[in-house]
Structure 1
Amino acid sequence: MYTRYLVDPLHRLTRAYFRHLRHAMAGADIALPMGQVRAVKVVSLLMPEATPHALAQALDRDKAQITRLLNELGSAGLVGRHPHPDDGRRQLLTITAEGLALLKRLQQLEQQTMARMSAGLSDEDVAHFIRMADTMTANLDQRGSQ
């Protein structure tokens, strides 16, 4: 296996994780693209102040991409849009009952995937990996904005 640079194992891990998760989702009859899955999860985390603008910022996507994504999620019955009670120009996003059921199923699949991924590792190993990954991400975010 070719491992000359840090990015090589990172790339393999990311691909293996998403390949396993997509396979688990297919086995659970969840046919959503990962981008839509991520959007539903982010809306649930942003609630009760989830807005299209906040979603765009969290996903680092432009307004047109978010509009298309929300239209798809709305058509699938996963996310609803409602007028903001304090500002008629804004919308609030909510997760529907179907979206909540999907999130519950996804959480179970993600937990199973993470358990398989971290088999043979101690809690300390996992915590160390998370700290390193968070530091590397912060380093790139800081340098990317300079």
Structure 2
Amino acid sequence: MKNHESELQTLLISTINGLKISMKSIMKEQGIPLSPLYFMILKRIHDTENCTANFLADVTEKDKGQITRLVKEVIAEGLVIKRPNPNDKRSQFLQLTDSGLTCYMTLENADKAVLKEMRSEVSDEELQQFLSVGAKMLTKLNAINHKKERG
């Protein structure tokens, strides 16, 4: 009898590692001295209106200290700026600079090309089924994790 759970675990870990390796390679080719985690931070800032460091900590499930360090580094690289939050003097919004947007768009386009190539032999129907099943499993995983946090 096959252990499908083990196969699922191996597939997910291998996919994530493969995407990280691909992104590292793209970043190196582009001369961007950051890790794939920074791409995810830039993506969240790009996609989120009025993004804050606290929001990043929540959605990435990283501790606030780590997010603070990451934000300081992208600010030092000239990719992000802080602007005042008019509704809360204690927080600041994060925004991509022009060079941050250029960097993000370069990485986003390269990432999309890799994803397109990755699924080149997968039909739209197969991909939709995979995404649907994956969403169900992720919902269940989140419920399990939230239950453990409360209990």
Please give the TM-score of this superposition, normalised by the length of structure 1: 0.90
Q: Which amino acid aligns with 1:95?
A: L
C-alpha contact (below 8 Å) 1:55/1:66 kept by paired residues: yes
Tell me which residue corresponds to 2:127. 126
Greater mean alpha carbon deviation, residues 26-35 or residues 74-83: 26-35
The counterpart of 1:15, out of the listed 14, 17, 21, is: 17
Instruction: State yes or no: 1:46 paired with 2:61.
Output: no
Aligned equivalents of 1:39 and 1:10: distance in 2? 21
Tell me which residue corresponds to 2:33. 31
Secondary structure in 2 aligned to 1:93?
Answer: strand
Deviations 1:38-88 (A, max 9, x none): 1111111112x2111111111112221111111101001111111212221
How many residues in Structure 1 have an aligned counterpart in Structure 2? Answer: 143
Aligned equivalents of 1:68 and 1:27: distance in 2? 24
C-alpha contact (below 8 Å) 2:23/2:36 kept by paired residues: no
> Which one scores higher on RCO, CA 8 angstroms, separation ≥ 6?
1
Aligned equivalents of 2:26 and 2:52: distance in 1? 30
Unaligned runs of 5+ in 1: none
Runs of 4+ displaced beyond 6 Å: none
C-alpha contact (below 8 Å) 1:77/1:99 kept by paired residues: yes
- Give 1:18 shift: 2.1
C-alpha contact (below 8 Å) 1:78/1:99 kept by paired residues: yes
C-alpha contact (below 8 Å) 1:17/1:117 kept by paired residues: no
Please give the TM-score of this superposition, normalised by the length of structure 2: 0.87
User: Against the structure 1 CA distance between its residues 87 and 10, is the aligned structure 2 distance closer, same or farther, given a 3 Å change threshold?
Assistant: closer
Unaligned runs of 5+ in 2: none
Tell me which residue corresponds to 2:114. 113
What RMSD, in angstroms, separates the aligned Cα atoms of the two structures? 1.5
Q: Identity over the aligned pairs, expressed in percent?
A: 26
